[in-house]
């Protein structure tokens, strides 16, 4: 059954008749993803009325930039754990230009750690350029082809390589552990999948949500947006991505046990 037929059938059956706005978006999203298992295809409810004019890409970027500024460019905390193990908790993936200083500051603070834990358990996404910058710290130079993004509308393919110049030392000769959960999504998955595919990190935790396709947002009403996938990520190692399947960790444990498990693994590796 195609999407149009499926949604119209449920509409005719009255499935959506008595749902309020947020419940309608949640229910329709579930039905959309039953017929097209793409986690980026969904309806979103927004409390504040919005313009029905076509979405302005610059306005969308500006809004996300402002959100990132209030959230320390997505970096929740940096910490030194027992055994000189560094920890960086990342909740959003910032743009590479505005986020470079904050990302560099975090990496500077862990520059002399013996191993690093990158906590992506609550990372819900962000910018592919920022994902490439995060990954760049874990490779020796700018000669690593990370992934591509193919744009369906234009037919163009954009390549992402490691960054040549970084504002903090690279972290290339020590172990890296990335923590994941069923919440980890989109840009957070990008970092986890890329580091795993290139053999640069051990993933610990749960399989992620599985959203690999960049999207565009379109207003339907003053309170409802539809997000539509318009592109596809292609990893340079695997030739595919994590869409629908999620990123599968190397060490499967419940998300709330991932940090302790990774810390134990790091300390045992150092002791050996």
Helix axes 3-12, 21-35, angle to 10 degrees: 140
Band (pLDDT 50/70/90 cuts) for residue 257 is very high
Based on the structure, what is the number of domains in the chain? 1
- What residues form DSSP beta bridges with 90? 75
Going by pLDDT thresholds of 50, 70 and 90, the confidence category of residue 58 is: low
What is the tens place of the pLDDT at every residue in 139-149? 999 999 999 99
What share of the chain has pLDDT > 90, as a percent?
68
Q: Is there a contact between 136 and 196 (Cβ–Cβ < 8 Å)?
A: no
59 pLDDT tier (thresholds 50, 70, 90)? low
Would you say residue 151 lies in a domain? Answer: yes
**The pLDDT of residue 225:** 84
The pLDDT-based confidence of 6 (bands split at 50, 70, 90) is confident
Best CA proximity match to 258, nearest among 118, 66, 160: 118
Does residue 220 sit within a domain? no
Q: Which of 2-6, 92-96, 216-220 has the highest mean pLDDT?
A: 92-96
Q: Please, which pLDDT band fits residue 240 given cuts at 50, 70 and 90?
A: very high
Residue at 197 is within a domain: yes
- Residue 143's domain comprises 56-215+229-271
Q: At 258, which CATH number? A: 3.90.226.10
Q: Is residue 118 part of a domain?
A: yes
What is the C-alpha to C-alpha distance for residues 93 and 187, in angstroms, rounded to an integer? 6
> Is 247 part of a structural domain of the chain?
yes
Residue 30 lies in a domain: no
Mean pLDDT of the chain: 92
Token match 């990132």: residue?
A: 68
The strand pairing partners of 203, in sequence order, are 178
Q: Does residue 196 belong to any structural domain of this protein? A: yes
- For residue 50, being part of any structural domain is answered with no
d(CA 184, CA 197): 17
Instruction: Please give the C-alpha separations between residue 220 and each of 27, 46, 199, in angstroms, as whole numbers.
Output: 16, 11, 43
What token pair was written down for 89? 């908790």
Least confident of 3-7, 64-68, 151-155: 3-7
Q: Which residue spans within the chain are E strands per DSSP?
A: 42-45, 75-81, 85-90, 115-119, 145-151, 157-161, 176-180, 202-205, 215-219, 224-229, 231-235, 251-252
């Amino acid at each position: 059954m195609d999407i149009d037929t499926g949604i119209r059938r449920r509409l005719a059956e009255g499935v959506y008749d008595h749902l309020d706005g947020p419940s309608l978006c949640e229910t329709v999203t579930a039905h959309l993803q039953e017929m097209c298992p793409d986690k980026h295809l969904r309806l979103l409810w927004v409390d504040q009325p919005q313009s029905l004019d076509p979405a302005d890409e610059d306005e969308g970027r500006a809004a996300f930039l402002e959100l990132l500024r209030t959230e320390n460019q997505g970096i929740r905390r940096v910490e030194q754990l027992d055994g000189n193990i560094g920890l960086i908790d990342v909740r959003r993936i910032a743009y590479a230009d505005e986020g470079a200083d904050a990302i560099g500051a975090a990496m500077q603070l862990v520059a002399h750690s013996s191993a690093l834990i990158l906590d992506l358990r609550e990372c819900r996404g962000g910018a592919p350029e920022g994902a490439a910058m995060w990954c760049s710290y874990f490779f020796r130079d700018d000669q690593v082809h990370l992934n591509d993004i193919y744009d369906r509308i234009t037919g163009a393919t954009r390549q992402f390589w490691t960054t040549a110049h970084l504002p903090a030392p690279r972290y290339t000769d020590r172990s890296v552990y990335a923590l994941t959960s069923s919440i980890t999504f989109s840009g957070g998955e990008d970092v986890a999948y890329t580091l795993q595919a290139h053999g640069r990190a051990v993933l610990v935790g749960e399989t992620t949500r599985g959203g690999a396709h960049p999207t565009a947002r379109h207003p339907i009403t003053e309170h409802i947006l539809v997000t539509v996938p318009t592109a596809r990520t292609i990893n340079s190692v695997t030739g595919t991505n994590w869409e629908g399947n999620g990123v599968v960790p190397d060490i499967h444990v419940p998300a709330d046990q991932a940090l302790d498990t990774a810390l134990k693994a790091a300390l045992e590796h150092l002791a050996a």
